[in-house]
Amino acid sequence: MAHDKTALDTRLMHTGLAEFDPVTGQAPVALPAVRTSTVRFENLDAHDRAQVRKGQGARVVTYGRMGMDTNEALENVFSQLENGTHTYLAPSGLSGVTLALLTFLSAGDHALLSDNVYGPVRHLDDAILKRLNIEITYFSATDELGALIRENTRVVYVETPGSLLFEMLDIPALAKITRAHDLPLVVDNTWGSGYIYRPLDLGAQVSVIAGTKYVGGHSDLLLGAVVTNDEAIARRINATQYALGYAVSADDAWLALRGVRTLPIRMAQHAHNAMKVCEFLDARPEVLRVFHPAWPKDAGHALWQRDCTGSNGMLAAHLDVSVPAGRAFVDALTLFGIGYSWGGFESLVQFVDVKSLGGHTYWGEIGSERGVVVRLHIGLEAVDDVIEDLRQAFERAQAAG
């Protein structure tokens, strides 16, 4: 879709609003959730015209699985966020990843994936891709990507920043290599969600977002989106989405539309709170290192400054404590839920024993075999309360040895 010159914040407020009734001249602010499984046609001519336009690539709904007005409005929002031309919705972030990968991969093909990807992507590899005789090679930021490309390599898929330690990857440099080999570069951009990071503008052809996270913002929906600015790739994604039978309910699309209206102010507040927590953690004797790309001491800070327009609430800390003390620390937190998601209004924590990362590239990033890693999503609570909660949890950890 065409993008006007108004600020993204303004476009997010005015994309997908309800149209005025032509008779009464009235309209609600929010577009209603338009639900249907069956699409009716006034006559066969209308049906035939729809089929012709659909065959030409237009977004024409002939069955409810694709979704009607509410879903289309959300697709337009994702296209606005990512500066893309085509968006395809999926029932979850992982299904969005699956859609993106299966668009390019067939039996006997090879793909290159960054080794910092979201954990369930490896499960997709083990449970599905291997069964389809698709081979995956995981690479790190220090590997020479060009040397890993094979004759049957069909796609390069990365996540940046990474899922646990938030390593920034150099997308323009990777895109230069992939384009030289005529390979699509797919980026999991859930961290940036199009608002603070735009891989398509940096040279990638496909961006995947878990709308479950910051777009929804309220931990009450599951949603994925695959966005591209390449017409030929869009046709391939469209065909794959249809074949997989993916559908997103109008109610979930409506919740995402509601959430994205406050994305600009939520993201900024998450980022503000996270930086305050980084300052606190950096001063603690138990903390060996803080991982957050907007933090000046982070290894990826220069790339973040170059490529991003903001940050969010995600960070991790390597704690020099025993596993029992680390568990006591997590259990002592009162404002943090223990959970795998993030991007909602609430604070969350995950716990990782460093020894469980043995043999993984993460180990090299951490630089030590001792301690634990806690991944924190800093929510929208008053940041002083969050810091006080972390402080008392450290005291409990000390008591645990």
Annotation marks residue 213 as catalytic? yes
| Of the candidates 129, 127, 167, the residue with the CA atom closest to the CA atom of residue 361 | 167
| Spatial distance between the Cα atoms of 295 and 297, rounded to a whole number of angstroms | 6
Q: What is the pLDDT of residue 1?
A: 41
- Candidate list 35, 65, 276, 396, residue with the active-site label: 65
Q: Identify the DSSP state of 17.
A: B
Annotation marks residue 5 as catalytic? no
Query: For 137-165, how does the pLDDT look when each residue is reduced to its tens digit (9 = 90+)?
Result: 999 988 999 999 999 999 999 999 998 99
* Statement: residue 365 has pLDDT above 80: no
Domains located in the chain, CATH noted: 8-260 (3.40.640.10), 263-399 (3.90.1150.10)
What secondary structure does DSSP assign to 278-301, as a single string? HHHHHT-TTEEEEE-TTSTTSTTH
* Statement: residue 401 has pLDDT above 80: no
Query: For 276-288, how does the pLDDT look when each residue is reduced to its tens digit (9 = 90+)?
Result: 999 999 999 999 9
End-to-end Cα, the chain, rounded Å: 58
Annotation marks residue 138 as catalytic? no
* Statement: residue 16 has pLDDT above 70: yes
| Spatial distance between the Cα atoms of 203 and 189, rounded to a whole number of angstroms | 13
The tokens for 128 are: 């599905």
| Spatial distance between the Cα atoms of 257 and 70, rounded to a whole number of angstroms | 8
pTM of the model: 0.94
Q: What is the pLDDT of residue 2?
A: 44
Mean of pLDDT values over 41-70: 91
- Candidate list 88, 157, 198, 213, residue with the active-site label: 213
Q: Which residues pair with 157 in a beta bridge?
A: 113, 186
- Candidate list 88, 109, 115, 118, residue with the active-site label: 118
H or E segment and range at residue 374: strand 372-377
Composition of the chain by helix, strand, coil, percent to 5: 40, 15, 40
- Candidate list 109, 125, 188, 307, residue with the active-site label: 188
